């Protein structure tokens, strides 16, 4: 299912070239990641391109993730030398903290250089992690196009924030090949890969398997299940029965069940879930 997807369309190649061409012009890189998948949503190509440039990691969608894991990942990324701001770009929670951090960084840099210059930044991340929502919050108005579908942002956009700082927006970029198939699955679970390219029934079955192992109580509570099935397929069919997703001839409506489970996971209705736990030292 996952390995057959074309991960590297032409516009993503152009994004890589855009980052390379403009990196010297910026003082700081803002990397937006999904708090539910802090490893899978960090593109290793971006890591290679940005190199030693100072990074601000936005742990976005923190409201959808396990709060304990948010704390652990924040600590981990700070220990790696990055600035970290947990955030919910949809409601603006965390934006004031980011603006304060950027102002302090700009003042410290100007003092070090003994001259006054406006901070220039680049924002990067994989599709559908919330870059456009963050930009709109920073601007205080609708500017960047947003949507719940990956790949909405296209082209090169220099934007001026209300405090005078400049921000270069870049389209979401995936990478040519996932060495670990779980990375592809995690991105698909969270909507960073177009659903149209997936077999949603198979994808939802994989997700149910992950939730059944790591968040069984949330799964049982949401779908009013007395117990989980021996296999993910058994659980999926139990969910369908509870919801009445039955076709003529008493056949299970797997597609409707799949869409429901995926939508309710992505919107946080099943619970606050982090698919990648932080292994603290």
130 carries a ligand binding annotation: yes
Query: What is the number of residues in the chain?
Result: 281
198 carries a ligand binding annotation: no
* Phi, psi (rounded to 5 degrees) for 47: -55, -45
CA–CA gap between residue 268 and residue 63 (Å, rounded): 8
63 carries a ligand binding annotation: yes
Contacts of 17 (CB under 8 A, 6+ apart): none
CA–CA gap between residue 136 and residue 143 (Å, rounded): 6
Contacts of 257 (CB under 8 A, 6+ apart): 201, 204, 236, 239, 240, 243, 245
Cα–Cα distance list, 32 to 36, 169, 212 (Å): 12, 12, 28
201 carries a ligand binding annotation: no
Across-strand partners of 83?
56
CA–CA gap between residue 77 and residue 66 (Å, rounded): 17
22 carries a ligand binding annotation: no
40 carries a ligand binding annotation: no
CA–CA gap between residue 100 and residue 80 (Å, rounded): 21
Radius of gyration in angstroms for the set of CA atoms belonging to the chain, rounded to a whole number: 20
Contacts of 184 (CB under 8 A, 6+ apart): 2, 3, 5, 7, 178, 193
Q: Are 69 and 161 in contact (CB under 8 A)?
A: no
CA–CA gap between residue 88 and residue 134 (Å, rounded): 9
128 carries a ligand binding annotation: yes
Binding site residue list for GTP: 60-63, 128-133, 172
Binding site residue list: 60-63, 128-133, 172
């Amino acid at each position: 299912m996952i390995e057959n997807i074309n991960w590297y369309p032409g516009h993503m190649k152009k994004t890589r070239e855009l980052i390379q061409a403009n990196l010297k012009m910026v003082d700081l890189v803002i990397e937006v990641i999904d708090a539910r998948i802090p490893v899978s949503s960090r593109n290793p190509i971006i890591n290679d391109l940005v190199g030693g440039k100072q990074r601000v990691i936005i742990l976005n969608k923190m409201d959808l993730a396990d709060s304990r894991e948010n704390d652990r990942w924040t600590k981990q990324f700070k220990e790696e030398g990055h600035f970290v701001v947990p955030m919910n770009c949809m409601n603006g929670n965390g934006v004031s903290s980011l603006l304060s951090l950027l102002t302090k960084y700009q003042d410290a840099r100007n003092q070090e250089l003994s001259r006054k210059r406006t901070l220039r930044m680049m924002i990067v991340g994989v599709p559908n992690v919330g870059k456009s929502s963050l930009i709109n919050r920073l601007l205080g108005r609708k500017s960047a196009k947003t949507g719940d579908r990956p790949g909405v942002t296209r082209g090169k956009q220099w934007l001026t924030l209300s405090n005078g700082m400049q921000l270069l927006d870049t389209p979401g970029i995936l990478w040519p090949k996932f060495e670990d198939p779980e990375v592809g699955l995690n991105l698909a679970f969270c909507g960073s890969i177009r659903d149209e390219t997936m077999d949603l029934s198979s994808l939802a079955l994989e997700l149910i398997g992950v939730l059944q192992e790591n968040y069984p109580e949330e799964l049982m509570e949401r779908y009013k299940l007395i117990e989980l099935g021996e296999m993910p397929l058994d659980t999926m069919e139990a969910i369908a029965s509870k919801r009445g997703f039955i076709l003529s001839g008493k056949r299970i409506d797997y597609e409707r069940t799949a869409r429901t489970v995926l939508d309710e996971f992505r919107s946080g209705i099943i619970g606050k879930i982090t698919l990648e736990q932080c292994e603290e030292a």
